[in-house]
Structure 1
Amino acid sequence: MRTETDPRAAATASCPVAAGLPDGILGALPGFRHFLGDPPAAERFQVDGADPRQSAPAMATLRRRLRGLALLMGDRPAQAAENPRVPAGYTYLLQLTAHDLVSTTTGFWSAGGPHPGVANAAGTPLRLRTLYGDGPGACPFAFAPDGARDPTRSRFRLSAVGGEVAAANRAAAFRDIGRAATPGTLGSRRGYGEALLADARNDQSALLSQVTGLFQMLHNAILGMIPAVGTLPAKAAREAAAARFAVAQEATALVFRAILRTDLLPRVLHPAVQAHYGTAAPALLDRPADGAIPLEFSHGAFRFGHAMPRDSYRIGSFEAAPLAELLRLNSTRSPNAMPLSHAWILRWSQFFQLPGQAAPNASMRLGPQLSPMLIADGLLDPIAEGDPCGLAFRDLMSAGLAGLRSVDSLAQHLGRLRPALAAQSPMLADAALRRAALAEWLGRDPALSLLDAADVAALAADPPLPFYVLFEAEREAAGEGLGILGSVLVAEVIHGALARAPLASEIGGGGLAAALDRLCESWFGPGWRFPDRPAVEDMPGLIAFVARRLDLAAAEPAFL
């Protein structure tokens, strides 16, 4: 118990959350680990040589410095450059992927002590558990009954646009995720305050929810090619329904994993890193005994996606739909505007490059500055009085409290273990060059950040990992993709998970088409194949397949 004479109490008196986080996050974190094993104290991120998780003065200094850094990161100019390499839709595919890798039970910025209660509950990665949860038995609300008198559930539940179904346009009507009005929610009188999803995080914005809905439609389209159960005895009918669902689920996961391999990762990884890891059996540095996710990935490198959102998007007839409004369009914040109206339904050619269509919205180039709308008041409140609003400060604080490997430690290990890759990054190869470049950026606007020379030097010597990954991307990859360090951390986790934990149908090789054929044969016997095999390995192909199977090519509002 602390008393008035506890020396740490005085140090935290002006820092309410520091007082609530006396020891930082020190205990076991199930489902998480560190890249290349637990780092010794000297290889962890520190504040003036001290661990902020165990030192109240270091914690107070950390918060002050990160406040200043967050202000710099929230100052992205209105004329910031777009990224021609990555259409805007991939921003939200990355977010869906993140949710399939990590489901944190407590925010790191709000937890502390020797038993913090923080865990990664995502389970085996990259099997679309974020879409399916534990299936219809555990998440029945996410799935529609197969018939008025049929208790089985095989299809994802979708909502009609605007809540209405026109008799002449039924094929195009169901384009929003499933939503419901329930007693006790803000929208219970006339709105839809519940997102009927296995993972409610996928309704964080109208953009993410529709990418989620697109994969749900893919599942439904695949299911529609599998013969219906028909009239069978009860036990046989249940087994047949379970088989249909299992095949549609695994086929959807196969397509998702193929898109990660061949479409998403090549767009964001440094070409040299993609060439090294994008093989059937990549040579991995990190070989964990289980599927635990490195904190250096979850609370470091993979936060890079937060720099990709635009301030506004072309959506349907909107020329400049504000990001802030899109973030508020969900069942939690805007239940009375749900289901989504026609005006907010995405035309996918505006988010992915489709053949014969105009150029889509581009994502923003990667760099250590985020959209001001992700810093805006009202979306993410300050952690404590005096803290900046928004995402940047929360990302920085979470990283600062997670005991991550320092950038210097990662640079040294990578230089020793992957010298050919490390040599392609001037800042990894030369610590003095790295510190000088960081100090120049950090000292750019002291009137905004209130960082003095000592603060700048300290942050340049030991930068927070999520900030450094974005700085590296801007400085060494022109913001069109990740730099070497960020790419290695992302490739180790995603390519590693794909290689280490294949789906049953992936064993045997031969690519997506062969896996789909093995899947069909394993459940339905030799000779049965999908009549329209969903062997698509990129997002434009997925969109075209869904449009063809669900008769959406001429839909209104436009699908393509």
Structure 2
Amino acid sequence: MTPHRYPSSLPESLRTDARDAALPRQPPPGFRNMFHEHHADEADRWRGEGSAHDTEIMLAALAERMMARPPARRTAPFPAGYTYLAQFMAHDLQFSTDERIYPPAAVPHVALRKRRLTLETIYGEGPERDPQFYGAGDDALAPYRLRFGRFGPGVAPGQRTLARSAHCTSVSGAPEAPLCAADARNDENPVVAQVAGLFIRLHNVALRRLDRYGDPAERFAAARRVAQAAFRCVVFDDLLPRLLRPDVRLAYERGRRRDLPAARTDDVAVEFSHAVSRAGHALVRPDYAVSPTVNSGHAINVREMIRHTSRRDPEAFAQGRAWAVDWSLFFGARAQPAEPFAPHVNPFLAEAPGLLADALRPARRAHLPLRDLARGMDAGPLRVEALAEHVRADFAGVPGLHRWLAFDASHRGSAVLEVLGEDRALKPWRASLCAEPPLYLFALIEAAAPEDQGGGAGLRFGALGSIVTAEPLYAARDASRESVEDHPDLKVDAATVFGPAGAPAGMADLIEALIPARLAAS
């Protein structure tokens, strides 16, 4: 009998053959609990209602509540494009083990990339091991030039997206998706695809300009190093200041590291990968203005936007109707804002097609938050209280610490109760959710809380969410700093590519450096 193939986004605990699994789960292969080499003690991991079946019923009600809550009246203080830059960054931290992206026989044995934050998400294993992602042009540098997708007339010169070609097989081998990219997840929506295209563009421009290298392989290595450094400059100097509490970011810039196993293992902490990183879904707008040529410049529903991918709408790409993003609408002073941090996911995204198995969709609503909550159930993350105890000493002496949600169970329970409200569907689990909230939910509640409660005031992650985000990112930069930021040739090469000032520190400035007509030929 042919086994049932579940869609890639279906968490293991929601599969019909795993509904009676006991909780807490252990982190899956390639993952671990933060602050631990492998998994934490069972008592420190979140156990929900004790079984996957009972917990899923609770999480389904909670997901509906998150979708039904009214959105915050304010907007985020940063442009909408940073939501998708963060998504691209997360792709560069770890592989996916989804079966629709990697067939079962080809799923990587290690879920975390061995070269983190080094743009492996566009470079793959390099031109020798992944030549299908290279070969743009017909000159001696072609084997080292990344393939890219162009747009038609009327689009800013130099704007790029992911390559699509009938001669380049996608990772899954799906004939309906002629995508030629090292990471198929970058085709999840047109914005992240064109963020990937921007860094592909950067590599190719650097490869052309670094003509002081006579050997093509050395020239490739130098161009990749410049692109990696520029990417990390944007992440640490532009993105993270918008996501992390200033006190937490300053401590990590000065060298604080608490997840010491991160320096010794490639396994990623599930508290980040399966919980806090998913809080970015709350930042997604219900609609976006994409460009003046899409819907006459008017905003379109986010559900329509995420349908516009090579996999979901292959005819549009085959016929040259791909949408080119107007970057000024996503980065810079004129950009539309992201949604604020809050325990709410807009309904248009929450119930977008393809998020749950067909058999579950009629019985369950709020598909995206349910999927996100269930991912945390699958992975056995640390309980909020256990996670907070590992970092409590870092905040010793901070005035009002007894009111911070991460460190005080009473205030934390009150904040959770405020989110649950009088929702009758959640009445059976009100007490257990207040005592032990899922980390994904807590990260959003803490982010929305006032700063004097350890929160982010709706502007950024709170204290605990900031720490869980900072740990894997700073560990990734530490691990490869010697070959990127500290390489003796980087300063000269960056000046050759960008000018005397070196790599731009902001995404809007990087776009401006790469899109103008003077750089049109790449």
TM over 0.5, shorter chain: yes
Distance in 2 between the 1:39 and 1:477 partners? 28
5+ unaligned residues in a row in structure 1: which ranges? 1-14, 51-57, 108-115, 230-236, 509-513, 521-527, 554-560
Aligned to 1:439: 417
> What whole-Å deviation, never above 9, does each CA across 1:367-417 have from its counterpart, x for those lacking one?
111121222252313475323353211111110121110011112222245
Contact 1:516/1:535, CA 8 A, preserved across alignment: no
Confirm or deny that 1:494 pairs with 2:473. Answer: yes
Alignment of 1:391-410 (within 5 A): 391-410=368-387
Distance in 2 between the 1:138 and 1:417 partners? 44
5+ unaligned residues in a row in structure 2: which ranges? 1-13, 100-106, 450-454
* Range with greater deviation from structure 2 (428-437 or 204-213): 428-437
Confirm or deny that 1:22 pairs with 2:21. Answer: yes
Q: TM-score, normalised by structure 1?
A: 0.78
Shift in CA distance, 420/30, structure 1 to aligned 2, threshold 3 Å: farther
Distance in 2 between the 1:91 and 1:25 partners? 31
> What whole-Å deviation, never above 9, does each CA across 1:427-478 have from its counterpart, x for those lacking one?
12321111122122113432xxx122x3111111111111110111012322
Deviation at 1:25, TM superposition (A): 8.6
Amino acid at match of 1:483: G
> What whole-Å deviation, never above 9, does each CA across 1:281-309 have from its counterpart, x for those lacking one?
33434343123211111111111211111
Corresponding residue SS for 2:135: strand
Confirm or deny that 1:326 pairs with 2:305. Answer: yes
Amino acid at match of 2:60: R
Shift in CA distance, 184/92, structure 1 to aligned 2, threshold 3 Å: closer
Deviation at 1:224, TM superposition (A): 1.7
Amino acid at match of 2:433: L
Contact 1:295/1:402, CA 8 A, preserved across alignment: yes
Contact 1:102/1:120, CA 8 A, preserved across alignment: yes
Larger radius of gyration: 1
Shift in CA distance, 346/290, structure 1 to aligned 2, threshold 3 Å: same
Aligned to 2:499: 532
* Range with greater deviation from structure 2 (433-442 or 208-217): 433-442
Contact 2:30/2:109, CA 8 A, preserved across alignment: no
Counterpart pick for 1:100 among 92, 95, 103? 92
Contact 1:161/1:340, CA 8 A, preserved across alignment: no
Structure with more of its chain in strand, by fraction: 1
Corresponding residue SS for 1:158: coil
Distance in 1 between the 2:217 and 2:403 partners? 50
Using the aligned pairs only, state the percent identity: 30
Counterpart pick for 1:225 among 190, 209, 228? 209
Distance in 2 between the 1:27 and 1:21 partners? 15
Confirm or deny that 1:423 pairs with 2:401. Answer: yes
Counterpart pick for 1:180 among 160, 165, 184? 165
Confirm or deny that 1:455 pairs with 2:418. Answer: no
Counterpart pick for 2:186 among 190, 196, 202? 202
Shift in CA distance, 321/470, structure 1 to aligned 2, threshold 3 Å: same
Confirm or deny that 1:276 pairs with 2:251. Answer: yes
Counterpart pick for 1:70 among 63, 72, 78? 63
Aligned to 2:10: none
> What whole-Å deviation, never above 9, does each CA across 1:122-162 have from its counterpart, x for those lacking one?
222111111111012233232234416x5851222222314
Distance in 1 between the 2:169 and 2:123 partners? 26
Aligned to 2:486: 507
Confirm or deny that 1:241 pairs with 2:229. Answer: no
Contact 1:180/1:193, CA 8 A, preserved across alignment: no
Counterpart pick for 1:346 among 304, 316, 325? 325
> What whole-Å deviation, never above 9, does each CA across 1:482-524 have from its counterpart, x for those lacking one?
000000111111122212431424237xxxxx7622668xxxx
Amino acid at match of 2:66: M
Shift in CA distance, 310/76, structure 1 to aligned 2, threshold 3 Å: farther
Shift in CA distance, 120/327, structure 1 to aligned 2, threshold 3 Å: same
Q: TM-score, normalised by structure 2?
A: 0.83
Distance in 1 between the 2:510 and 2:20 partners? 46
Contact 1:155/1:223, CA 8 A, preserved across alignment: yes
Distance in 1 between the 2:418 and 2:138 partners? 64
Shift in CA distance, 474/370, structure 1 to aligned 2, threshold 3 Å: same
Contact 2:356/2:371, CA 8 A, preserved across alignment: no
Contact 2:24/2:48, CA 8 A, preserved across alignment: no
Distance in 1 between the 2:274 and 2:518 partners? 38
Deviation at 1:28, TM superposition (A): 7.1
Counterpart pick for 1:132 among 101, 123, 144? 123
Distance in 1 between the 2:463 and 2:403 partners? 6
Aligned to 1:89: 81
Deviation at 1:361, TM superposition (A): 1.0
Residues paired across the two proteins, number = 482
Distance in 1 between the 2:198 and 2:108 partners? 34
Aligned to 1:41: 42
Confirm or deny that 1:298 pairs with 2:294. Answer: no
Distance in 1 between the 2:417 and 2:498 partners? 59
